[in-house]
Structure formats: C-alpha cells, structure tokens
Amino acid sequence: MQTSTHLNLTAPGVYLENIPILPGKDLLTGVPVFLGVAPVNNAQENGLPVPTMLTLWTQFGQYFGQPLLHSYLLHLVRVLFANGSRLSSVLPLLDHILSALQNGLAEIETLDGYLAHAVRGFFTNGGRLCYVVPLLNNTLSELQTGLRAIEGLDVIDLVCAPDIMQNSEAEVAMEMQKAVLEHCERMGDRFAILDGFSITKIEDIEALKIQQQRLIGDNGALYTPWLKIENAPMNIPPCGHIAGIYARNDRQVGVYRAPANYLLEGVLDLSFLFTDTDAEILNPQTGSGVNCIRSFRSRGMRIWGSRTLSQNPEWQYINIRRLKITVLRWAERNLADALFEPNNRDLWGRIERELTVYCESLWEQGAIHGDSSEEAFYVKCDEETNPPAIRNTGQIVTEIGLAPTTPSEFIVISLVHGSSGVRFVES
C-alpha cells in the first residue's frame, strides 16, 4: 500500500495527493467553459469579460449572434486570389453571393470561427449547462485574459477553446493550448479538452504526434480527427462534441467511468478514417496519447480512447485524473469550514467521519473497488498525520487511500486545510 511521505507542507493551504473521487450530490461535473471569438458584451468585472451561462443551445444566438449558415466568404476570396483568379472573375461571384443575401436566399452569420459549432455540439451530445467567455480576437494575450476571467468560476470542471485551431501557425496554436493546460494545472479543479491539428491524410499523423509530445500536462486530453457537421462547409474541431459526451457520461454513470465508446451525435463524417494501426501510433498501450474518434460499420462514430497528456503513469487515464480533480472540488465545498475550527482531536474525528461517509458512497456506487469498504478505502486524520510541526503552520492533514476500479495499487491523497483555502500537491 502506497503512503504519503514526500509532501512539502510548508505553505498554507489544503493539499490533495494522488486521488480519484466521485462528486457529491451538490457538485456538478461535466460543465465546460468555452473560450472563443465572439461579440463582447458590455458586462465586465475588473476589466475582464463576464462568463455567460447557457442552458440551451438557442441562448447562444441571443447573446452572441445567430450562426445559421457559417460564412467563409473572406476565406473563399483569399483562396480564389491565391490560386490565380483575377478580379474580373471574382467580382461576378461576389455579386451573385450578395444578390442571394439580399433576396433572402442565404444568410451570413455574425461570427467567424468554431465557437458556435462547438457549443452546439455540446448540447447535441447531452450537455445541459455551459459557460461562454467571448474573446476580442484569437491571440495568446486575449486567451490569457479569458483564462483570468474564469479563475473564480468554480462551477466548471472542463475548459474548451476551439478557436485556437484557426491559427495557421502550429507553434502559435500549441503555445495557446499550453496556456490552457497550464491554467488547468494551476487551478487544479478543471480539465482541458484540446483539439488535435486537422488531419485529412496519413501524412498528417506526424504533426499530431509532435503536438502530443509538446503538450504535456496531467489535466488535459487531446482529440482527433475533425468533424463534418450540418451547416458548416468546413470540418470543425471536436472539443464541443467531446465535452457533451463528458457531460452525458457524468450524468448517466459518473466521473469514474471513462468517457469513451460513446456515439457522437450530429456528426455526418470524419475528416480522416483511422485504421487500428493508425490509432495505435497515436494511442500506444502505455503513456500519454491522442484520443481518436473512430467510424465503425453499423455502430457509428465513437470516441476510441481515454488517455490524458500526462507523463505520469498514475494519471494516464482521463477518468482517474478527473476523479482526483473532483475530490479537490468536493473538499473545497464540504470541508473548507474546518479551517476555522480548533485543530484538535474533535476536528480530526469530524473530518474522518465526513470523509468516511463520502468514501462509503463511492464504494457503493462502484467508483472504487473492494469486496468490503475496508478493502476499498481508508481515511486517517490523527496525531500521526498532524504532528506539532504541521499544526504550528495552521494546517490540518488528512490521508485517504482509495482503490480505483482500474488495475492499480491504492491511490493516496493528503488533504491539507490552511489559511489559503483548498489546494493539492502531487507526490
């Protein structure tokens, strides 16, 4: 059995070491925030955009414009000129398009990018609640502004930024995705759903391998290929549809189940059809990987992978990492008040009792494994976990061991209550 022996507990806070846990009744999971280019409303706090809550897809159009028919007009003109077309040949085409617009035969949306399609994909695939943060442009600095705006948004546990993939330079796109990963790692209570580069041919796999190797983080996963959907003349990144699957999985089963082997709704086709050999290249048996969406005869298009971008074998599966994230969120909501109580045996006993009840519920739901509750978990908060040196820092340390349903030894966490709230450190 693994125990916690190498924690640095000098800084105040509540720490969590290596754990999977299920949400309590009052804790929502599968709630994403989408960051992307959209009209910014006037509501701001401290100069930052205010996240907008959506519970229906139709609300997106009310706040940010109605994406009825995605317009790639400017992109079309650029392509025509880049391929040798002259003004004399382009103008009649533009005149035809404008005439169709004036006669109501076509519509141009106010948005450009993938944000609207991602949000729609989320609701189509089972999502019920999300937040949208509009960005002024598709730059790293503006993305960082959006990330600062969601630091206090504790209801979310997923982060998506589909418009990153509009960047034509791979290095820029990866730097922006790194910023999302770093945000999720630093906050500790959220997980990034990232889009792989567009793939249409076998040679594109090499770029995806490089992307996976460059994006390293415990709190994120990478998905490919892109999707063909209705009302979008070009393929779109999959993160919104994937987020909907996460939400559906959490609601129907729980975060302890991997969000894999689910049928994607609202998808007409994939930009690339992976074979078993192709998928094995991107998703090896061990280590981090790129999660492929596969098309199966008579079974539809399904998520075929559940790997994180972590280099730590303990966190290579999405469900195990998200369970650990959820424990931090549960502790923040249910145990934060312990900070204000006397640090003595009475408090230790209360913490043990509450966590034992919680872990019992996890075992009963099948989130942790064992023929008995004693085999499935243990909770320890006493003088051994709280020696004088720890108590003098104003902290309370609780050790919890859990047996996850995936093959593994006990995963051990150390919850540490302190003046700065609830945080965690890795072993």
| Paired sense of beta strands 227-228 and 269-270, if any | antiparallel
Domains of the chain with bracketed CATH: 32-64+111-315 (3.40.50.11780), 73-102 (no CATH), 323-417 (3.30.360.90)
d(CA 171, CA 163) in angstroms, rounded, equals: 15
The whole-model pTM stands at 0.82
Predicted pLDDT of residue 70: 38
Predicted pLDDT of residue 327: 78
**Burial label, 367 (beta-carbon count in 10 A; 0-12, 13-18, 19+):** buried
3-state secondary structure of 410: coil
Tokens (6 digits) for 54: 């959506």
Predicted pLDDT of residue 407: 54
Spell out the per-residue pLDDT of the chain, length 427, in tens.
333 334 444 444 444 444 444 444 468 999 999 999 998 766 677 789 999 999 999 999 888 876 544 333 444 444 444 444 454 454 555 555 555 555 655 444 445 689 999 999 999 999 999 999 999 999 999 999 999 999 999 999 999 999 999 998 999 999 999 999 999 999 999 999 999 999 999 999 999 999 999 999 999 999 999 999 988 878 999 999 999 999 999 999 999 999 999 999 999 999 999 998 888 888 877 778 899 999 998 899 999 999 999 998 888 999 989 988 887 888 788 888 887 888 899 999 998 999 898 888 888 988 888 899 999 889 899 999 999 998 888 888 888 888 877 655 577 778 776 665 656 655 5
| Paired sense of beta strands 300-304 and 290-296, if any | antiparallel
Question: Do 355 and 378 contact (CB within 8 A), yes or no?
Answer: no
Contacts of 138 (CB under 8 A, 6+ apart): 37, 113, 163, 164, 166, 167
Residue 231: DSSP 8-state: T
3-state secondary structure of 133: strand
- Strand spans (E) along 237-311: 269-270, 290-296, 300-304
Would the CA dihedral through 359, 361, 367, 368 be positive or negative? positive
Predicted pLDDT of residue 43: 66
Half-sphere exposure of 212 (CA within 13 A, CB side): 26
Question: Do 12 and 394 contact (CB within 8 A), yes or no?
Answer: yes
Contacts of 208 (CB under 8 A, 6+ apart): 196, 197, 199, 224, 282, 290
Phi, psi angles (nearest 5°) of residue 183: -60, -45
Gyration radius from the chain CA atoms: 24
Predicted pLDDT of residue 328: 82
Instruction: For 350-370, give the DSSP string.
Output: HHHHHHHHHHHHHHHHTSB--
Tokens (6 digits) for 258: 């991997």
Question: Within a 10 A sphere around the Cβ of 234, how many other Cβ atoms?
Answer: 14
Long-range contacts, 147-151 (Cβ 8 Å, 24+): 147/35, 147/179, 147/180, 147/183, 148/48, 149/45, 149/48, 149/49, 149/50, 149/51, 150/33, 150/35, 150/51, 151/187
